[in-house]
Amino acid sequence: MAPRFITWLRLRDAALDTLPQMGSIIVSFMTVGAAARAAGLSLVEATAMTAFVFAAPAQLVMVGMVHGGAGPGVVGVAVLVINLRLSFMSLSVVSSLRKVPVRRLLIWCAMLSGLSFTRFQLTDRQADAADDIAQRELNLAVSCVLLYLAAVVSTVVGSTLAVVATPVWIEGLNVMVAMMLIGRIVEARHDRPFFVAAALCALLTPVAAALSPNFGSLLLALSLSGLVAATPLALVRRQGPRQVEKAVKP
Amino acid sequence: MTGGAAGCWLQIGTASVLTLGLRLLPLVSRNFLSDAASPTLDRFNKTFLACCISSLIIALLLPSGQPLVITKLALMVLFLALYLVIRKIYDGVLLAPALAIGYTATRFLLS
């Protein structure tokens, strides 16, 4: 990302593109802040957790485990399993931005979240012009920084407000987060694997959670995702080389 | 919190180091990566995100350990359906907060 490439107009456009995702991150991390406070964590602890972990699903599980008296080992395993997806996302970013210096990638990957990743377009480095890559890096950088800052501030607000929160208030907040998340799934309804996996996971989550309260839904998510990701490869092997292109291309 | 403040910092520290490690691990293997992004990996990422989102929705709406109250559940489903219907006409950032306030007000009135 050459300095001449960065202009106020480009920064403003990248920031405006990130704004719709802000609502989602604000609500998610306000929920994290409120849940952390309800579980007995102080404002400083809740804020530090977001500043250093910055992964809402893992933090929500972590808060429950800390509240239940789980040790660092158990919490570590749970966080490792839940956040494994961050490694895959980071891998995709690194492989798509190989021309970008490591020092800059280090910062973007450290602040990477699922929302920033969904906006990031995977590229083949041989095929793209330098300006395209710079534009993608700029979009990713702005999205990562803004969402990170919003998450930290929202945790502080959520944690502070939790002092006056009632169970019904928390319930209202949960319904609002659920609405936004359902909206995201509905938006992606044309992407069949995404939609099918989401629907299957929603149906099977109560069963998985009943079988194993801490890891059930995580194992379900991992196995379903692996299954969906590997299905085209299995079809290719079964159909033989003739249908290879047909099966791989969408 | 039953673990105490010191225990909590230990857990936050462990989670932080592991998460940062997961985020930065691919940078170590940067030189060994192929040029093109893997479609299988991309598919896995997208699907895993979908699964996480839907699991989180269920966890938010049906918290484990709490009794299943049919009227509460019906009200939630009603407001979620309202959201999906209204967003076809108006899909602004205020829609979800406004409906959530409506939901909370209805719950207060009913309780």
How does pLDDT run across A228-244, given as a tens digit for each residue? 888 776 666 666 555 44
Residue A13 sits in the same domain as residue A66: yes
Average pLDDT estimate for A157-170: 77
- Whether A155 and A248 map to the same domain: the answer is no
Residue A64's pLDDT is 75
Per-residue pLDDT tens over the stretch B36-74: 556 777 777 778 778 877 887 887 788 766 777 888 889
**Paired tokens of B3:** 């673990």
In chain B, residues with a C-beta closer than 8 Å to the C-beta of A225 are: 44, 47-48, 50-51
- The model's pLDDT over A214-223, given as tens digits with 9 standing for 90+, comes to 677 777 887 8
Least confident window among A37-46, A157-166, A180-189 = A157-166
- pLDDT surpassing 50 at residue A249: no
> Residue A201: inside a domain, yes or no?
yes
Three-class SS state of A217? helix
- Residues of chain A contacting B11 with CB distance shorter than 8 Å: 62, 65-66, 70-72, 75-76
**Total domain count for chain B?**
2
Q: Are A244 and B55 in contact (CB under 8 A)?
A: no
Return the residue of A nearest to B15 by Cα: A76
Higher pLDDT, A6 or A55: A55
Do A117 and A203 reside in the same domain of the chain? no
Nearest to A50 by CA among A90, A37, A180: A37
Higher confidence at residue A145 or residue A1?
A145
Question: Which of A134, A133, A91, A82 lies closest to A109 in space, CA to CA?
Answer: A91
Mean per-residue pLDDT of chain B: 81
Answer whether residue B31 is part of any domain.
no
Range of the structural domain that residue A250 is part of: 188-250
**Within-domain flag for B32:** no
Contact A109 B27 (CB under 8 A): yes
Tell if the CB–CB gap between A80 and B22 is shorter than 8 Å: yes
Which among A174, A195, A203 is the top mutation candidate for probing chain B, defined by the most B β-carbons within 10 Å of its own β-carbon?
A174
Residues in chain B closer than 8 A to A80 (CB atoms): 18, 22
In a domain, A179, yes or no: no
Q: Is residue A178 part of a domain?
A: no
B52 and B83 belong to one structural domain: no
Say yes or no: B3 contacts chain A, CB-CB below 8 A: yes
- What's the domain count of chain A? 2
Q: What is the ipTM of this complex?
A: 0.75
Token readout for A11 is: 């920064």
Angstrom distance (rounded) from CA A193 to CA A209? 23
Residues of B whose CB is below 8 A from A217: 55, 58-59
- Whether A180 is covered by a domain: the verdict is no
What residues make up the domain containing B82? 68-111
Got the DSSP string for chain B?
--SHHHHHHHHHHHHHHHHHHHHHHHHHTGGGS-SSPPHHHHHHHHHHHHHHHHHHHHHHHS-TTS---HHHHHHHHHHHHHHHHHTTT---TTHHHHHHHHHHHHHHHH-
How many Å lie between the alpha carbon of B56 and the closest alpha carbon of chain A?
A: 7
DSSP secondary structure letters along B46-58? HHHHHHHHHHHHH
User: Chain B, 16-45: which have a CB under 8 Å from a chain A CB?
Assistant: 16, 18-20, 22-27, 29-30, 33-45
Q: From chain B, pick out residues whose CB is under 8 angstroms from the CB of A233.
A: 40
Q: Rounded mean pLDDT of A11-30?
A: 81
What count of other Cβ atoms lies within 10 Å of the Cβ of residue A166? Answer: 11
A174 belongs to a structural domain:
no
Contact flag B48-A117 (C-beta cutoff 8 Å): no
Residue type at A106 in one-letter notation? L
**CB-nearest partner of A197 from B47, B57, B59:** B47
pLDDT band at A247 (very low <50, low <70, confident <90, very high): very low
